Structure formats: structure tokens, C-alpha cells
């Protein structure tokens, strides 16, 4: 075994000697000359980056005005009111009823009650879960809705709503029986 270690050691010494002998040559003379020439040249100057102006957004202030290439519109001709003036208006002096505090969309008809004398009442469920009994002539909804008729499956109302010109107009509405809510 000692012989094998001696052979390996002798082979390693020979290899190191051979590599050392090969690296002693002057094969880097051309590289050294190039480096010396490059270091002797004057160094370059890098110019600073140019300064740019900040972008200013343009605000077009005449967007709400008439286009300059279109003819002007005569406003007097478009404002002619051909509808007759209505004398309908809500009675603001009467006391408000409980169901007038709710939007008509949040009210559901859940049933009816028949009196012995023949009077028919409708049962209305509000958005808080309360049940109210109403008959023709009662008011409900936030637009002054007066009940004008009740059947077993439907309530007919007349609402008084603003017409957009300072007056009022009547609008028919109805509530149908909501069988799922009952």
C-alpha cells in the first residue's frame, strides 16, 4: 500500500512541476501592450442627460358652450308648453297616515278582510314587518297615494306627483297580492 501512495505522490509532484513550467512563458506580452495603450489614451466625457419640460395638461374650458361651427339654437322655440295647466295638488293640511312614511315599493299587499256588511279591507305589510289594515279612501306611499279601489288581489291608488314645471299630476298605481309574503 505504501507503494501506491508513493506513486501517487510522485505523479502529483511531476504534474505541478509541468504546469509551473508552462505558465512561466511570456505569452501575455500582446495583452500587456493593449492594456498599456488603452490606459494611455485620453478618457472620454459623457454628456449629462438633457432636461425635459414638465408636461402641462390642457384644460378645455369651453366644453359646455356651443360649438363654433354650428348655428345657434333658438331657446324660445323649444320651451313652448303645449300641455294644459293642471289644477291637481295634494292636500297638505290633512294629517298624514302611518303608511305615508313608507315608499310604495316597500309595501306589500298580503291579504284582505271582508266585513259582514260587505266592506273590504286590504292587509299591507310594511318594510319593518308591521301589518296594517286599509280601505278605500286611506292614503299610502310617499307621493300622496289615495286608495280608490280594493279587490281580493289588487289595490288601486292615485298618486299626486310633481310634473317638473312647478305643478302636480295624478298617476295611477296599483299593488297586487303578494302570496309569498303572506
How do residues 33-52 score in pLDDT, each as one tens digit?
888 988 888 887 888 888 88
Under 8 Å between Cβ of 158 and 170? yes
pLDDT digits (tens, 9 = 90+) for 132-168: 999 999 999 999 999 999 998 999 999 998 888 888 8
3-state SS, residue 159: strand
- Within 8 A by CB and 6+ apart from 65, the residues are none
pLDDT tier, 77 (very low <50, low <70, confident <90, very high otherwise): very low
What's the CA gap between 75 and 66, in Å, rounded?
13
Residue 147, Cβ density class (10 Å: 0-12 exposed, 13-18 middle, ≥19 buried): buried
User: All 3 cell numbers of residue 25?
Assistant: 512563458
Q: Nearest Cα to 151, choosing from 109, 108, 107?
A: 109
User: All 3 cell numbers of residue 127?
Assistant: 318594510
CATH number of 54-181: 2.30.30.830
Please state which of the ranges 39-48, 62-71, 114-123, 146-155 shows the lowest mean pLDDT.
62-71
* Prediction pTM value: 0.52
What's the CA gap between 20 and 3, in Å, rounded?
26
Q: Is the pLDDT of residue 82 over 80?
A: no
| Domain residue extents for the chain | 54-181
55-70: average pLDDT: 79
Please state which of the ranges 3-7, 36-40, 89-93 shows the lowest mean pLDDT.
3-7
Under 8 Å between Cβ of 6 and 14? no
Amino acid at each position: 500500500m505504501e507503494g501506491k501512495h508513493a506513486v501517487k505522490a510522485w505523479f502529483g509532484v511531476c504534474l505541478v512541476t509541468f504546469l509551473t513550467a508552462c505558465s512561466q512563458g511570456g505569452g501575455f506580452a500582446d495583452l500587456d501592450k493593449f492594456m498599456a495603450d488603452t490606459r494611455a489614451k485620453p478618457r472620454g466625457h459623457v454628456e449629462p442627460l438633457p432636461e425635459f419640460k414638465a408636461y402641462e395638461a390642457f384644460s378645455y374650458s369651453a366644453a359646455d358652450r356651443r360649438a363654433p361651427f354650428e348655428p345657434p339654437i333658438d331657446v324660445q322655440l323649444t320651451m313652448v308648453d303645449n300641455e294644459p295647466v293642471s289644477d291637481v295638488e295634494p292636500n297638505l293640511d290633512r294629517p298624514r297616515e302611518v303608511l305615508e312614511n313608507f315608499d310604495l315599493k316597500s309595501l306589500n299587499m298580503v291579504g284582505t278582510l271582508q266585513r259582514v256588511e260587505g266592506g273590504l279591507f286590504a292587509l299591507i305589510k310594511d318594510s319593518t314587518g308591521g301589518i296594517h289594515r286599509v280601505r278605500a279612501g286611506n292614503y299610502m306611499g310617499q307621493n300622496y297615494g289615495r286608495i280608490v279601489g280594493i279587490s281580493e288581489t289588487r289595490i288601486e291608488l292615485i298618486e299626486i306627483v310633481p310634473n317638473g314645471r312647478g305643478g302636480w299630476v295624478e298617476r295611477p298605481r296599483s299593488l297586487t297580492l303578494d302570496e309569498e309574503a303572506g
